[in-house]
Structure 1
Amino acid sequence: MKIKIRGELLDYLIQLAKDFYPNEFGGFLREKNGIFEEVLIIPKGYFGKESIYFDTWLLPHDENIKGTVHSHPGPSPRPSQVDKKFFSKFGGVHLIIAYPFEAWNIKAYNSDGLEVKIEIID
């Protein structure tokens, strides 16, 4: 399995991770024509040093929301057990951007927590 993401969006997500540091940030990814194009940041989210929380009831009804993204303030882009539990409930694709928040330290996972390849589209 491979996901496609717009390069401009990936750059923006990296910048968000840097801006929120030392806290985590998180959002939902919107896909158009098989390519992730936009991120939605849910209002009233909690972005802490070790976890994030957002109320998914505040998510708009949008069938194009196909994934999530969040940052790890530490150097590991591997999902925690809490991440894997969330992945299994939300489904789709999940990006983790780890410190120092560069493209080489981003990983994507499916709803089972298995890594999938990322293709950057210009």
Structure 2
Amino acid sequence: MNIRGISADTLSLLLIMGQESHPREFAALLSTEEGVIRNVDIIPGTIGGSASASVLFEMIPLNVGYIGSAHSHPSGAIRPSEADLAFFSRTGSCHIIVGHPYGQDDWRCFHADGTSIELEVIPDE
């Protein structure tokens, strides 16, 4: 899948989700429209904790076309942990981490192996 970027509104939503769930983590799955990340889904049964968030994989709908995940790091560390890498490997190829204090520059995108991806923020019309 060729991912062109993330919509500005979707990025703002992820940063707000981080703020609203702080000091707990949130986790969600992402999908695209025409190569742009525009959809954020919280899977039923997802639990956000102070050190991690867990997703019930058996609750993920089939054939939705998720391309990756998003979650928060209340600590502000915007890099994947070993647990994140294990999660990434099960949920797609494009993963966004938002970190405290959840400002416009407090996020990064990663491949499933943890290498950084430059992701363009695409203005919404």
Amino acid at match of 2:39: E
- Map 1:88-99 onto structure 2 (within 5 A): 88-99=89-100
Q: C-alpha distance in 1, partners of 2:15/2:24?
A: 13
* Amino-acid identity (%): 29
Where in structure 2 are there 5+ consecutive unaligned residues? none
Is the contact made by 2:29 and 2:91 (CA closer than 8 Å) also made in structure 1?
no
Match of residue 15 from structure 1 = 16
Q: C-alpha distance in 1, partners of 2:56/2:39?
A: 19
CA deviations over 1:28-76 (Å, ceiling 9, x no partner): 0011111001100011111000011111211112343101000000121
SS in 2 for 1:103: coil
Q: C-alpha distance in 2, partners of 1:26/1:115?
A: 19
> Number of residues paired by the alignment?
122
Is the contact made by 1:3 and 1:117 (CA closer than 8 Å) also made in structure 2?
no
Match of residue 72 from structure 1 = 73
CA deviations over 1:69-111 (Å, ceiling 9, x no partner): 0000012101111111221233310000010011211000001
Match of residue 25 from structure 1 = 26
Cα RMSD (Å): 1.5
Q: C-alpha distance in 2, partners of 1:121/1:29?
A: 16
- Could you list the structure 1 runs, at least 4 aligned residues long, displaced by more than 3 angstroms after superposition: none
Q: C-alpha distance in 2, partners of 1:3/1:73?
A: 27
Q: Of Structure 1 and Structure 2, which has the larger fraction of its residues in strand?
A: 1
Match of residue 35 from structure 2 = 34
TM-score by structure 1 length? 0.93
Call closer, same or farther: CA 1:113–1:3 in 2, change over 3 Å.
Answer: farther
Match of residue 81 from structure 1 = 82
Call closer, same or farther: CA 1:105–1:3 in 2, change over 3 Å.
Answer: farther
Is the contact made by 1:74 and 1:98 (CA closer than 8 Å) also made in structure 2?
yes
Match of residue 61 from structure 1 = 62
- Map 1:90-109 onto structure 2 (within 5 A): 90-109=91-110
